[in-house]
A = this chain, B = another copy of it.
Amino acid sequence: MARLGPNRYGKSAVRVVKVERSGDRHVLRDATVAIALEGQFEAAHLGGDNRAVLPTDTMKNTVYALARDGYTGSPEAFALHLARHFLEHPAPVTQVRIRIAEALWSRIEKHGKPHPSAFLRAGTEQRLARVDASHTGMTVHGGINDLLVLKTTDSAFEGFIRDQFTTLPDTSDRVLATAIRALWRYRTDPADYSGCWHTARSAILETFADHESRSVQHTLYAMGESVLAACDDVDEVRFVLPNRHHLPVDLSRLGLENRNDIFVATREPYGRIEAVVRRS
């Protein structure tokens, strides 16, 4: 009466920190890895036969083991290394997804000089890498998560549809804030994933800063265009942008005028804008 549909399993939230001590300056890498496998796992589901099942505990150990010699550069390269390992495994795996989120650390400075072995978390932002691998090919994504940005001018929202439930006034000058999530797909293998990442991130930030925004959608699209223009190796980028509303406080009820300078930052509800921008 029942049958098994699409399924996958794996280990999430595997945290591995690597310290490279080879030179005078230590290098710090801080990754949270998630692994998901698809394959011939029907016997485990239907009959409790585990002979084809690679334990998720082993996946965790594999992250630690392969990080030792294989996490020496970009998270994309490490994700590719992990993906190949699981694809070549005796377990009946047909599809592997590796996701890595790197926490970003900068060096503590003293008199403007960066310290060789002491670090400070740089922002709430994470660098993302994702690899989807099967026996017929690999797809690589790079990205950004939770990059908090805010602009205090050059953002409007007006001329929208109004219905019986619309109370929002048109505004030609609002505060715009969001937590950028962007994931871009590589169409070719870039020589330098980290270089690409910095290029894409700068394109996104500079466009956010300079754009004459008429809506979140409008700025999302402009940021996508700028990534495609800056990164030849990328063929599409997907954004998820929560609108972190900053509402002008109605000071008139308090006997004061709000000179467009006092806002309340709200967490919920929030607008959520999501789109893919593609190379045509």
- Bound: A164/B277 CA distance, A: 43
Residue in B7, B105, B164, B242 whose beta carbon sits within 8 Å of that of A254 in the complex = B164
Contact B224 A2 (CB under 8 A): yes
Contact B270 A268 (CB under 8 A): no
Please give, as numbers and ranges, the residues of chain B lying within 8 Å of A152 by CB-CB distance. Answer: 19, 21, 26, 28, 117-119
User: If A26-B153, A263-B16 touch, does A209 touch B115 (CB 8 Å cutoff)?
Assistant: yes
Contact A271 B58 (CB under 8 A): no
Please give, as numbers and ranges, the residues of chain B lying within 8 Å of A58 by CB-CB distance. Answer: 161-163, 165-168
CB distance from A125 to the nearest CB of B (A): 8
Residue in B1, B48, B221 whose beta carbon sits within 8 Å of that of A279 in the complex = B1
A55 contacts B by Cβ under 8 Å:
yes
User: If A275-B5, A279-B2 touch, does A151 touch B50 (CB 8 Å cutoff)?
Assistant: no
A231 contacts B by Cβ under 8 Å:
no
A120 contacts B by Cβ under 8 Å:
yes
Contact B165 A254 (CB under 8 A): yes
Please give, as numbers and ranges, the residues of chain B lying within 8 Å of A213 by CB-CB distance. Answer: 48
Q: Mark A113-131, 1 if CB is under 8 A from B, else 0.
A: 0010111111111000000
Please give, as numbers and ranges, the residues of chain B lying within 8 Å of A17 by CB-CB distance. Answer: 175, 246, 262-265
Interface residues on A, range: 35 or more
Contact A89 B217 (CB under 8 A): no
Contact B108 A208 (CB under 8 A): yes
Interface centre among A6, A65, A91, A125 (most CB of B within 10 A): A65
Residue in B54, B119, B163 whose beta carbon sits within 8 Å of that of A161 in the complex = B54
- Stretch from A39-47, A73-81, A133-141, A189-197 that touches the partner: A39-47
User: If A51-B160, A255-B164 touch, does A9 touch B273 (CB 8 Å cutoff)?
Assistant: yes
Contact A51 B256 (CB under 8 A): no
Contact B277 A2 (CB under 8 A): yes
User: Which residue in chain B gives the minimum CB-CB distance to A275?
Assistant: B7
Contact B44 A262 (CB under 8 A): no
Please give, as numbers and ranges, the residues of chain B lying within 8 Å of A277 by CB-CB distance. Answer: 2-5
CB distance from A225 to the nearest CB of B (A): 5
A90 contacts B by Cβ under 8 Å:
yes
Mark A residues whose CB is within 8 Å of B.
1-21, 26, 28, 30, 34, 36, 41, 44-58, 60-62, 64-65, 67-68, 89-91, 105, 108, 110, 115, 117-125, 147-154, 157-168, 175, 205-206, 208-210, 212-218, 220-221, 224-225, 228-229, 236, 238, 242-243, 246, 249, 251, 253-256, 258-280
A-B contact pairs, 24 of them (CB 8 A): A1-B228, A2-B280, A3-B279, A6-B275, A9-B272, A12-B268, A13-B267, A15-B269, A26-B152, A48-B214, A50-B214, A53-B161, A54-B160, A57-B166, A58-B166, A61-B254, A65-B165, A68-B259, A108-B209, A117-B209, A119-B149, A120-B205, A121-B147, A267-B267
